[in-house]
Amino acid sequence: MLADIIGTWVAATLTIAILSFLYRDNPLYRAAEHIYVGISAGFAVIYIWAFDVYPMLVDTFKTHLTAGNYLEAYILVIPALLGIIMLLRSIPKLVWLSRWPISFTIGIGAGLGLVAAVQGYLLPQLSDTLRPLINLNNAVIYIGVITTLTYFYFSKEHRGVLGVFSRIGIVFIMVAFGASFGYTIMARISLLIGRFYFLFHDWLPLIR
């Protein structure tokens, strides 16, 4: 019970400290900001160790050794060394060694990102665009895709029919941007409502 009370007061104090930035920058806000960044960094380190490094490296290494798969076990030494070498960025004289694992990681990330973009965005978009014109929704998708692509066609001046299509494409682009922006604002407002509910319900029981 006492731990819950202390936790509630600490959370409320930090919440008010963060919200104080709405007035102006102040030491209380900067202290809360540093605490938040520090806790987030610490949590990230513990999370990566508990859910990535230990099960995928240490446990897998032990499992392969127990099963007699020595080749599979000692291959894991390579990513372990790359991870350790990446930490050498904190040593100025050895910072050049960290470029190797970083470039390796960026290359893998770029390859996986490309495959994910093609499979997760491009192919589903193509599939949805090729739907039969049997209802209004499919027609809107056709018009939106064609006019948006027309807007990004810069090999010819946008005049006449091409100009009309490009202006319609601008409308679809603005609607998409507006919906994305509105979704972001709604998410932030939901977080703000959650913080105010915590302050006025859990900390100060002003609402039920």
Sorting pLDDT into bands at 50, 70 and 90, what band is 35?
Answer: very high
Query: Above 90 in pLDDT, residue 207?
Result: no
Query: Above 90 in pLDDT, residue 205?
Result: no
* Spatial CA neighbour of 199 closest among 11, 7, 35: 11
Segment 43-69 mean pLDDT: 93
Quote the CA–CA distance of 66 and 167 in Å, as a whole number: 66
Whole-structure pTM value: 0.70
pLDDT value of position 1: 78
Tell me what the pLDDT averaged over the chain comes to: 91
pLDDT value of position 171: 96
Sorting pLDDT into bands at 50, 70 and 90, what band is 178?
Answer: very high
pLDDT digits (tens, 9 = 90+) for 135-163: 888 889 889 999 999 999 989 898 999 99
Domain-wise residue ranges, the chain: 132-208
Query: Three-state SS for 208?
Result: coil
Quote the CA–CA distance of 43 and 175 in Å, as a whole number: 38
Query: Above 80 in pLDDT, residue 208?
Result: no
Q: What is the DSSP letter of 23?
A: T
CA torsion through residues 100, 101, 103, 104, sign: positive
